[in-house]
Structure 1
């Protein structure tokens, strides 16, 4: 609503004229379009489940050291380092601890150490759940390395065109060559990514000679909470030896009521899906 003060009307010569929004529905259309673009970008970036990790610093005495380690390992903590304070029997332990497993940590540490241990927590990072990597598969970095090399080549041509010797238009031939090379490298990069990576966000090395490693991709439809995790052997479903298994569940099934990801709920489902993938390969081979 706009308010305009004019000199017409009323005994004082001033009147408040309320006018409707002169911009029409344009602003609402912009917001709707921006929201749709953000969601499309999110879904095309292959969303995956991650969990928050704390950097946990624990100070404890030598007598309570074993009890502290028992608490950490039970809560899926990953110990980074352990150091002893010089001239004392106090140990300082640094570890990464999932936020989901941190509830009640202070009380349990006090019980296990008889009050000799104390902990401080600081949000460190978000970590992708690496169930497939933990199962013994190794990530294939060849595709990522080629993409990085092609991206650096494209950046190099762009920098050469911008900061190369000479000034435009005397060096037009060099600028034209750099622009052509940049476009060519970009096309090659997109073609390579589409052909060898597709919509997969994790590609692993072959587990056995001649058998491709599993590929992981995910789907999250618009206006839906159904998360689909797909494990397949090749990009082409019609290729010989192709096998594919999928898991579809509500995202809410993997989170606590307070919004924290529950690794205990997500990890067994992925392990079962990975086992199903292995059995599918065994049946096809026989």
Structure 2
């Protein structure tokens, strides 16, 4: 009976190849998203929807350019317009990624019933050839009067991963929940004595 419990716990454990930098970051990012949404924050997917729509339009423009019913000399003006539109839409997509998304892994709506009118932006960094994972929680609207102060956690991934690449979820959850608590407490007004 004890062997079955250990076996099922091993199967449910989140494991990663320690030599794959991107896989480590992906595992930690997915776990952060899971932790934040388990705290009652609902994911805001509006930016993702805009990117999907823009990507779809870019694909349609490319398909029109490829399968237009006239051959090259006659369709030159049409192709120039399609190429120009393709470039403009791609630049708009890159601007969205650069200005709005940055290193964000999760955008949320405000908690239901809370006094704040802004959600969270959770972002992370794991530089190449480094073991330092930086997790940042910001306000989705930094110009809002209810925006909280940005909080940050930087720790070595070796604090959360075993030698076999298994994520020690209890430690990771504890650190991320402490960061969320720090953000929410930093945004609350101080009590007067």
* 1:212-235: CA deviation from partner (whole Å, max 9, x where unpaired): 111111122343211111111147
2:151 pairs with 1:245: yes
Give the secondary-structure state (helix, strand or coil) at the position aligned to 1:260: coil
1:260–1:144 distance in 2 versus 1, CA, 3 Å: same
Q: Aligned partners of 2:115, 2:81: CA distance in 1, in Å?
A: 44
2:13 pairs with 1:99: yes
Looking at secondary structure, tell me which structure has more helix per residue: 2
Q: Which residue of 2 aligns with 1:255?
A: 161
Match of 1:220 among 114, 121, 126: 126
User: TM-score under structure 2 normalisation?
Assistant: 0.77
Q: Aligned partners of 1:232, 1:269: CA distance in 2, in Å?
A: 16
Q: Which residue of 1 aligns with 2:186?
A: 280
Unaligned runs of 5+ in 2: 16-26
* 1:130-154: CA deviation from partner (whole Å, max 9, x where unpaired): 1001111011110000000001111
For residues 99-248 of structure 1, the aligned pairs below 5 Å read 99=13, 128-129=30-31, 130-207=34-111, 208=114, 211-234=117-140, 241-248=147-154
For residues 57-68 of structure 1, the aligned pairs below 5 Å read none
* 1:32-76: CA deviation from partner (whole Å, max 9, x where unpaired): xxxxxxxxxxxxxxxxxxxxxxxxxxxxxxxxxxx9xxx69x95x
Q: Aligned partners of 2:181, 2:162: CA distance in 1, in Å?
A: 26
For the 8 Å contact 1:243–1:280, the answer to whether it is kept is: yes
Q: Aligned partners of 1:165, 1:193: CA distance in 2, in Å?
A: 35
Compute the displacement of 1:252 (Å). 0.5
For the 8 Å contact 2:43–2:108, the answer to whether it is kept is: yes
1:209–1:170 distance in 2 versus 1, CA, 3 Å: farther
CA RMSD of aligned residues (A): 3.0
For the 8 Å contact 2:109–2:119, the answer to whether it is kept is: yes
Compute the displacement of 1:158 (Å). 0.9
Structure with bigger RCO (C-alpha 8 Å, 6+ apart): 2
Structure of greater Rg: 1
For the 8 Å contact 1:228–1:246, the answer to whether it is kept is: yes
Looking at secondary structure, tell me which structure has more strand per residue: 1
* 1:74-105: CA deviation from partner (whole Å, max 9, x where unpaired): 95x9xxxxxxxxxxxxxxxxxxx52359xxxx
Unaligned runs of 5+ in 1: 1-66, 78-96, 102-125
User: TM-score under structure 1 normalisation?
Assistant: 0.53
